[in-house]
Copies of this chain bind each other. A is one copy, B any other.
Amino acid sequence: MRVLWVALDWGTTNLSAYVIGKDNQILQRLQSDKGMSQLDPEKFEPALLDGIGPWLRNDEITPVIACGMIGAQQGWLEAPYAVAPCLPVTAESVVTVPTKDPRISVQIVPGVCQRAPDDVMRGEETQIAGYLADHHGFGGVFCLPGKHSKWVRVADGQIRNFTTFMTGEMFGLLSNQSILRHCVGGSEWDDAAFVKSVEAAVRDPAGLTAKLFSLRPQALLNGTPSGTLKATLSGFLIGTELAAARQIWDRRDIVIVGDRENARLYKTALATLGKAALTYDSDSAIVQGLRPIAELAHCEFQVT
C-alpha cells in the first residue's frame, strides 16, 4: 500500500503518526513516547524516521505535516503562533523544517495564541480545522478535553476566543503523585459516583480543593472503594471546569473532540447539566485538519 503523506500529532510527551494512503485512508497509526520534551534538537529527525521509515520510498518525497508542541520555541522549529481571532490553520503560516533524509519534507502548523486574557494552544487548532473541513459553516463551541482541556468559540470559520483548564494534568498529578494516590488506584470505575460528583462540583465549584481532600477521609473512615473515589476525583475536576466554562458553552452548540473515554466523560458530565453535545474523534480531526496542507505539498512534489 502506497503512502501519500504522513500526519503527526507531536506533543510534549507523545508522538502520534498517521500514515495516510489513497482516499485519505489511515494505513497505520504509530504511537511513541518520544515526545518533544524527551528529545534533543538533533534527535527529532531520527525519532520520526524510527517510526515512519519503513513506509517511505526512495523514489519520491513524502510530505510529513505536523502539529502540536513540536512547533514550540523548544521544539524542532518554532512555528510562531497565529493570533486569535483567526482561521485555525492556514497554508501561509506553516513552517518548513530543514531535514537530512531526502525522502521526506516536513512542515509544522503553528498554534494559536490569544491576548488579554492570554492563552495558547498547539494541536487543538488542527483538530478544530479538521472538524470544520467536514462541517462547513459550523458555529459554536469546541470542547477539547485532555491534559490541558480547552473550550474554543468558533464563528465564521474562525477561532474567536478560548480558555484552557488544567483538568487532565491535575487529575494525573493528584491520582499519581498526591496523598490521594493511596485511595484512587486500580482500574475500577463508578459511573454513578462520577455523575454525583459532577453535580456536587457544579453546586459549589469554589470548594474544589476541599472536595479533593475529602476523598482521603472517605477512604480512611468509610472504606469507600478506589473505583468510586477515582470517578469522584474525575467528576470534581470536570464538574468544576464545566461550571467555570458555563458562560462559554451555555446557549451554544458543543462539539467534543477527544479520545473515546474523555469524550464519553465530558458528554456524560454535560448531560448531567441538561446539555447535549456531539462528539468527534480526535484522530480523524488531526488527519482532516492537516490534509489541505499535505495536498498542497503533494502538488508541489508531483510537479518537481
Contact = CB atoms under 8 A, between A and B. Distances in A.
Interface of A: 12, 73, 113-115, 117-120, 147-148, 163-167, 169-170, 173-174, 177-179, 204-210, 212-214, 216-218, 220-222, 237, 240-241, 243-245
Nearest to A169: B178
The list of the 8 closest CB pairs from A to B, nearest first, reads A205-B206, A118-B217, A164-B213, A165-B209, A207-B244, A173-B173, A120-B217, A206-B244
Given A118-B222, A221-B113, A213 B165 contact: yes
14 contacts: A113-B217, A113-B221, A115-B221, A118-B214, A118-B218, A119-B217, A120-B220, A165-B213, A166-B210, A170-B170, A173-B173, A204-B244, A206-B206, A208-B244
B177 A240 contact: no
Contact of A240 (B148, B174, B206, B217): B206
A173 B174 CA distance: 8
A119 B240 CA distance: 21
Contacts of A177: 173, 177
Contacts of A222: 118
Given A118-B221, A243-B206, A244-B206, A213 B166 contact: yes
Given A119-B217, A173-B173, 19 more contacts: A73-B220, A117-B214, A118-B214, A118-B217, A165-B209, A165-B213, A166-B209, A167-B209, A169-B178, A173-B174, A173-B177, A173-B178, A205-B205, A206-B243, A208-B209, A209-B237, A209-B240, A209-B244, A210-B241
Contacts of A245: 210
A285 B111 CA distance: 53
**A118, A120, A240, A245 — which one has the most chain B CB atoms within 10 A of its CB?**
A118
A190 to B, nearest CB: 17
A177 B172 CA distance: 10
A207 B205 CA distance: 8
Given A209-B165, A241-B209, A244-B206, A221 B120 contact: yes
